[in-house]
Structure 1
Amino acid sequence: MRAARLIRMALLVQSSPGLTAAALARELEVSERTVIRDAQALQEAGVPIRSELGRTGGYHLAPGHRTRLTTLHPSEAETLYLSGLPGALRDLGLSDAAGTARLKLAATMLPSLRAAAESSARRFHLDAPAWFREPSAPELLPELARAVWSDRTVELTYARPARDDGAPPRTVTRQVEPYGLVLKAGVWYVVGRVPGEGADGTGAGAWRTYRVDRVTAIAPAPAPAPGADGAFVPFVRDPSFDLAAHWQAHSAGFARALLRTTVTLRLTGRGLRCLPAVADPAGIGDALASASAPDAAGRVTLDLPVESEDVAFGQLTGLGADAEVLAPEGLRARLREHARALAALYGAGPEDQR
């Protein structure tokens, strides 16, 4: 494990001269003291790595030196070939470039490594879209991807759907700095910053996420200088922005924000075990934390966060008699009528009386 870390450290210093001990520690997920010890180990192994002080300091390799630690291990070659997403690359208009890159990479590999890479491609495939949904690439996705690659501010026009509170659908235009694209369950999203927005009053911009299939037009953002009309305006990317971390936090917050209603339930032991299969995962933790001790019949009472009474009705009918709604009364009455309708439908008929 340490040998792999030393190789990573040498390659990091070679590709990004001037990294500090703190930066290397973050990249390698070790302490700064370990970085110092590893640098000494590399020196003893003949790698001319040194630490310099000052504004342009950090770790450097000796001028003209390049490590020869760039040979791929078979497992690394397998992993590299697993990283491609054919459908996503096709949607972004990058399938030809990716294919050419793989051919060039394969041409530089030893025959044994080429076999390892091809073997992994035969054994694993990622199918990103969800079941029962025909995947389709949004028409404007390639153009939006080009704006993301080149850090160009764009003016997005998108269709906002009707809201639960009765607000009608409408078309909105926003100036956006597109930071990244995310493919989630077959749906493309663009994550960007809207300049001038933000609750902190600094004008640094608010982060927004838009479904790409709802974007109806992309145009250059209004040019700040006369005579520059029609040209895309570049933006300065925040180097601290982490797309993966932002998306994880955004998706978790979005899932919880949807749960605007609470239902009080009394569940049997079986109902409690089956609850995670029918309820929203974002609300399960809070529900279980609110659960009472079992009563004499083994039933527990808890508060379940749900999106709406309509959604809760569809979810809880799957639990049948193992779940009793105590509140709100409107949902309880609705389930009572549903039970009566089922009893009438499946009650004794002529064929049951024979």
Structure 2
Amino acid sequence: MRAARLIRMALLVQSSPGLTAAALARELEVSERTVIRDAQALQEAGVPIRSERGRSGGYHLAPGHRTRLTTLHPTEAETLYLSGLPTALRDLGLSDAADTARLKLSATMLPSLRAAAESSTRRFHLDAPAWFREPSAPELLPELARAVWSDRTVELTYARPGRDGAPPRTVTRPLEPYGLVLKAGVWYVVGRVPAPGPVADAWRTYRVDRVTALADAPHAGGDEPGASFVRDPSFDLAAHWQAHSAGFARALLRATVTLRLTERGLHRLPFVADPAGIGEALAGAGAPDPVGRVTLDLPVESEDVAFATLVELGADAEVLAPEGLRARFREHARALAALYGAEPGDQR
């Protein structure tokens, strides 16, 4: 365990000279005291690593020195072949490049490592999409990925879901696309919307399948397309997503439906409704009535989504509000009664 950490530390210092003890501690998930001890161990092993003070300080290797700790262990070769999602690479338009890189990597490996790496693909398959959902590759995803790679500001047109059954509305704004995230088969773009003057820039997350148009943003003060942005080096996509994903999921739930549920409906609700709103709904639920029914307010994305979701609960869920959604269920119930009240094969 420690030997692997020492190798990682030497490679980190080689690839990123000037990392502080605190930065190395975060990367290696250890304390700063452990980093200091590991640096001493590397020095004793003949690796010329040193710590420098001052503005450009941190840990460095001696000038001209490059550690030769890059030989792959069989386990590392196996995991390297598992480090990407084939479907995600295909969606991004990178499957050909990934296949070529994999072939080049395989050609440089020792035969024993090549066998170990290739065997991992026969034993593990990473399937990103959620169950019961057809995976889709948004049409504009490859173009958006190119903008992410090249740090290119874009004009993004987005269909924002309407509230309370209203039709979606279209929004167009400039966006500095910092990264793409694949979550349960759905692609999201995370970016910064530049603000004029002293106003702070706003970070936004958009579902890529709701992006209806994409164009290069013009250069400031001119009509030439292809404006680029300067990426904030401190931005960490994984950390940002983890910190904001729960809030983003909740923000999508723009409407509220009041329900009265049977005991069985209450048990089944988490299996059909959006998880982002379930906890809030259950926390605010009232006490059961004399026959065991519970009334609660459920956050939903829209009335259309609520209808498609709650219809699965059948008679175990009664919509009390809004009235428009209750009317849709009333009409749906009449249609079902007419259909099943007739003999099979009857035409009405």
Under a length normalisation based on structure 2, what TM-score does the superposition of the two structures give? Answer: 0.80
Q: Equivalents in 1 of 2:25, 2:73: separation in Å?
A: 24
Partner secondary structure for residue 69 of structure 2: coil
Query: Which AA in structure 1 matches 2:70?
Result: T
Structure 1 residue 135 displacement after superposition: 3.7
Partner secondary structure for residue 50 of structure 2: strand
Structure 1 residue 270 displacement after superposition: 2.6
Q: Equivalents in 2 of 1:61, 1:191: separation in Å?
A: 36
Partner secondary structure for residue 244 of structure 1: helix
42-51 or 329-338, which deviates more: 329-338
- Residue 316 of structure 1 corresponds to 310
- Alpha carbons 1:223, 1:231 under 8 Å: kept: no
Q: Equivalents in 1 of 2:138, 2:330: separation in Å?
A: 44
- Residue 260 of structure 1 corresponds to 254
- Alpha carbons 1:283, 1:305 under 8 Å: kept: yes
Measured against aligned partners, the alpha-carbon deviations of 1:316-351 in whole angstroms (never above 9, x if no partner) come to 33333433455556655665665566556545979x
- Alpha carbons 1:129, 1:135 under 8 Å: kept: no
Does 1:247 pair with 2:241? yes
83-92 or 331-340, which deviates more: 331-340
Q: Rate the CA distance shift 1:33–1:296 in 2: closer, same or farther, 3 A.
A: farther
Q: Equivalents in 2 of 1:265, 1:295: separation in Å?
A: 13
Q: Rate the CA distance shift 1:142–1:293 in 2: closer, same or farther, 3 A.
A: closer
**1:257-296 map, 5 Å:** 257-292=251-286
308-317 or 114-123, which deviates more: 308-317
- Residue 218 of structure 1 corresponds to 215
298-307 or 75-84, which deviates more: 298-307
Structure 1 residue 114 displacement after superposition: 0.8
Gaps of 5+ in 1: none
**1:173-212 map, 5 Å:** 174-184=173-183, 186=185, 188-196=187-195, 202-210=198-206, 212=208
- Alpha carbons 1:160, 1:170 under 8 Å: kept: yes
- Alpha carbons 1:180, 1:191 under 8 Å: kept: yes
Q: Equivalents in 1 of 2:49, 2:79: separation in Å?
A: 29
Structure 1 residue 127 displacement after superposition: 4.3
Structure 1 residue 257 displacement after superposition: 2.0
Measured against aligned partners, the alpha-carbon deviations of 1:63-97 in whole angstroms (never above 9, x if no partner) come to 33333332222222111111233343344443333
Aligned length in residues: 342
Q: Equivalents in 2 of 1:29, 1:143: separation in Å?
A: 36
- Alpha carbons 2:153, 2:216 under 8 Å: kept: no
- Residue 104 of structure 1 corresponds to 104
- Residue 32 of structure 2 corresponds to 32
Under a length normalisation based on structure 1, what TM-score does the superposition of the two structures give? Answer: 0.79
Q: Rate the CA distance shift 1:36–1:168 in 2: closer, same or farther, 3 A.
A: closer
Measured against aligned partners, the alpha-carbon deviations of 1:289-312 in whole angstroms (never above 9, x if no partner) come to 223455665554433223344443
Q: Equivalents in 1 of 2:217, 2:259: separation in Å?
A: 53
Query: Which AA in structure 2 matches 1:122?
Result: R
- Residue 88 of structure 1 corresponds to 88
Q: Equivalents in 2 of 1:328, 1:137: separation in Å?
A: 33
Q: Rate the CA distance shift 1:289–1:212 in 2: closer, same or farther, 3 A.
A: closer
Structure 1 residue 24 displacement after superposition: 1.0
- Alpha carbons 1:175, 1:221 under 8 Å: kept: no
**1:21-100 map, 5 Å:** 21-100=21-100
Q: Equivalents in 1 of 2:343, 2:138: separation in Å?
A: 52
Measured against aligned partners, the alpha-carbon deviations of 1:233-283 in whole angstroms (never above 9, x if no partner) come to 332111121223333455433321232343444444332221111111111
Partner secondary structure for residue 153 of structure 2: strand
Structure 1 residue 145 displacement after superposition: 3.1
